[in-house]
Amino acid sequence: MTGTVRTWPRPLRWAMAVLGVAALAVLPMFPPPLLDTPGTSFSWVMAQVAMIALVGLGLNVVVGQAGLLDLGYVGFYAVGAYTVALLTSSESPWHAGGLFASGWAWLAALPLAAAITAVSGLLLGMPTLRLRGDYLAIVTLGFGEIVRLLAENLSEVTNGSRGLREIAYPNVGASAERPEGYFAAGNVIGPIDAGVAWFWLGLGLILLVLVLAGNLERSRVGRAWIAIREDEEAAEIMGVPTFRFKVWAFVVGAALGGLSGAIYAGQVQFVNPTNFNIINSMLFLCAVIIGGRGNKFGVIVGAFLIVYLPNRFMSVELGGQPLGDYKYLFFGIVLVALMVFRPQGVLPARRVRLCYRPADDSEPRR
């Protein structure tokens, strides 16, 4: 199917893409009965899908493209969320007021969250990315736990296990009907409720990340990541500075993780350390593996399955418990089945022949 689409004329592909995005944008406003989530707001479910898709796209850079096993990605997610919380929450000792107390507070904190998380990725990657395989996985797992424990024990700064409340969110569209704007949790009026507003924001960021990630894939950096993923020693022999490009992957992935954490903090307006445990890190990894490592669109499908299915079956009971409560059991079974029957994921990455072609080479690229 993917190969067939690539044979279509470029204007037709762009037209189909625009129609697809438009259909996705109105989906949370008018959910089909077959897709609706009884007992849970479908628009909020889709807003979570968009947020987890952003997390998955960031993790896909590290795991799917560069082939680095990162088990502590939730640490970057936490750094982004706590950056926004510390800058904008009235309970934070670092809340300086000024711009961070205005209606622009969340928007002003967003690039700072991405930048600080990128720096944390650089600081983690510089001493650790000379490790490989299981050793790197253990180090990253430790990083995720260290961030969570710091958030829990630095109670004078982070308020410990009580967390930080009253975090800023985008103050857009305030009116007499919606005094706190479209993004406020209390906005349940009409078809454009808070869930729809957050989904549209997430969808816009996903499109931006897809464009940037697509350009990176086709650049020298993307080709170096693929070479490292396929055979790091061979890449080194061919002159690829593998350590430098692995650090780049960590920094880019960390920045996207921090961006997602900032969105999470704005959505729930509350953060505490239990929101950033190892289980969430495993769920992020599940989205990448189930969707297809290295495939951006596969990761988005994986994020949809991870978030949507537990909410869809929350109203169905098994043994007196909602079926959605068994999500970890089902995800484990699905992962085992995938490893046996389809280890490349639901939508595997397209293998592109990355070799030199003379200008007059008329052979079609496969």
Using the predicted structure, report yes or no on whether residue 365 has a pLDDT greater than 50. no
Region 102-123: mean pLDDT is 93
Tell me the Ramachandran region of residue 79: left when phi exceeds 0, alpha when psi lies from -120 to 50, beta otherwise. Answer: alpha
- What single-letter amino acid sits at 95? H
Q: Over the chain, what is the mean pLDDT?
A: 88
- What single-letter amino acid sits at 24? L
The model's pTM: 0.89
| pLDDT for res 338 | 84
Identify the CA nearest to 87 among candidates 281, 280, 261, 275.
261
- What single-letter amino acid sits at 312? R
- Of the chain, the percentage scoring pLDDT greater than 90 comes to 51
- DSSP, collapsed to helix, strand or coil, labels residue 130 as coil
User: CA–CA separation, 56 vs 63, rounded Å?
Assistant: 10
Region 112-127: mean pLDDT is 94
Confidence of residue 366 (pLDDT cuts 50, 70, 90): very low
Confidence of residue 339 (pLDDT cuts 50, 70, 90): confident
- DSSP, collapsed to helix, strand or coil, labels residue 15 as helix
Residue owning tokens 């957050």: 198
H-helix or E-strand spanning residue 223: helix 220-230
Using the predicted structure, report yes or no on whether residue 21 has a pLDDT greater than 60. yes
Identify the CA nearest to 286 among candidates 337, 216, 245.
337
Using the predicted structure, report yes or no on whether residue 117 has a pLDDT greater than 50. yes
| pLDDT for res 9 | 80
Region 25-30: mean pLDDT is 92
Identify the CA nearest to 117 among candidates 84, 88, 91.
84
Give residue-wise pLDDT tens across range 29-82. 998 888 888 888 999 999 999 999 999 999 999 998 999 988 989 999 999 999
Region 227-252: mean pLDDT is 92
Region 280-291: mean pLDDT is 90
Q: What is the DSSP string of 134-161?
A: HHHHHHHHHHHHHHHHHHHH-HHHH-GG
